[in-house]
Amino acid sequence: MPALHTLVRNSIDYAGLFPPAGLGMAEAVANYGSYRSGPHAWALGRFVVPAARLEELEEAAAALLPRSPSAGGWRVAALLGADPAPELEAIGELNCRHAAEGAGALAVDVVEAKADSPELVERLLSAVPDYLQAYVEIPLGRDPAPLAAAAAARGGRLKVRTGGITADAFPSAADLVRFIRAATRAGVAFKATAGLHHPLRAEYRLTYEPGSACGTMFGFLNLFLGAAFVAAGLADGEAERLLEERDPAAIRFDAAAVEWRGRRLDEEALRAARERAIVSFGSCSFTEPIADLQSLGLL
C-alpha cells in the first residue's frame, strides 16, 4: 500500500540497546545489519546509540559495514550526555574517519539531547555543528510552545517521550496533542520515543519480562496520523480521539490515501507531514512493529 509506505518509510529508529530490550552492542548491531538487508528495510531508520558508546559501536559494526558507496552507509543518531562538547568532537572525528575511507560506511548525522528551558535549548543548539541535525527532548508537563519557538529559532527539531517501562511514564493524549500543536505552529519537525512498539493504541506488556505489568500505550500509526491530520487542520479534540483510536477498521489505507472515520489525507499530505511534522520514532524492536502491521493486514 503506497500510502502506508509513505507514512512509515524510514521511520523506525532502532534502539535495541535501550529498555525494555536492553541488548548488548554486538546483538543490537547484528540485528540492525540484518534488518538493513531484509524485506522491510524500507521502514528502517537510524541506529540509536549513546554518544559515549560510539567507539564500541564502530568496533562491533566493523565487519558488517558496507564496502561500497552504492550500498549506502549506516546512519546513526547519537544521544548526547551532560557534557556534549567532547562527544561532539568525537562524532566529528568518527565521521571524518569514515568519509576518508571513501564509502562513508558509518556516519552520525543526528544528535539528541534533553533541555527543559528556552535558554538551555538555545545553548545546546548553538553548540551543535551545522552538519548535524539536533533533536531536543522537552518535557510535556507544561506549555511546550516557548521551547518549540527556541528550537525553531536555531534550526533544531523536537523530541517527545511517549511512554516508558512503567504505566506512569505515558503522557495523556491531551498533553501529546498540545505538543504536536506547538511543534506545528512553530514549524518544527519532531521525533518520538518509548512505548510505540505497536501500530494502534491498546493494552500491552510494559516490558519483556515474564509477568510484566501492562499499560495503555499509544500506537505509532495513531501518532503519525495525528501529526499529519493536525498539520492539515484537525482540531485538538478530534486529534485526541485519533490518538486514542483502538479500532483497526477505523483506519483504512489504499494506494493513494489514508482515511480515518470519514477524514482523508492523500499521499502528498502524508509526505509533507513526514518532512515537516513527524520524522521518526525510536523503538527497541524493529520486528514487533512490522509483525503487527502484518497481523493487521497492512503489509
How many whole angstroms separate alpha carbon 201 and alpha carbon 124? 33
Confidence of residue 100 (pLDDT cuts 50, 70, 90): confident
For 290, the 3-state DSSP assignment is helix
Residue 37 DSSP SS3? coil
Residue among 163, 150, 194, 187 nearest 277 (CA):
187
pLDDT digits (tens, 9 = 90+) for 6-62: 999 999 999 999 999 999 999 999 999 999 999 999 999 999 999 999 999 999 999
What stretch of H or E contains 276?
A: helix 267-276
**pLDDT tens, position by position, 135-178:** 999 999 999 999 999 999 999 999 999 999 999 999 999 999 99
**pLDDT score of 1:** 64
In this structure, the strands spanning 257-260 and 74-79 are unpaired
Residue 38 to residue 20: CA distance in whole angstroms: 23
For residue 146 the three cell numbers come to: 516557548
Fold classified for 2-295: TIM Barrel (3.20.20)
With bands split at pLDDT 50, 70 and 90, how would you rate the model's confidence at 102?
Answer: low
Grid cell for residue 280: 521518526
> Torsion over CA of 138, 142, 148 and 149, rounded to 10 degrees?
-140
The average confidence (pLDDT) of the chain is 95
At 135 the three-state DSSP class reads strand
CB 108 within 8 A of CB 97: no
Tens of pLDDT, residues 82-92:
999 999 999 99
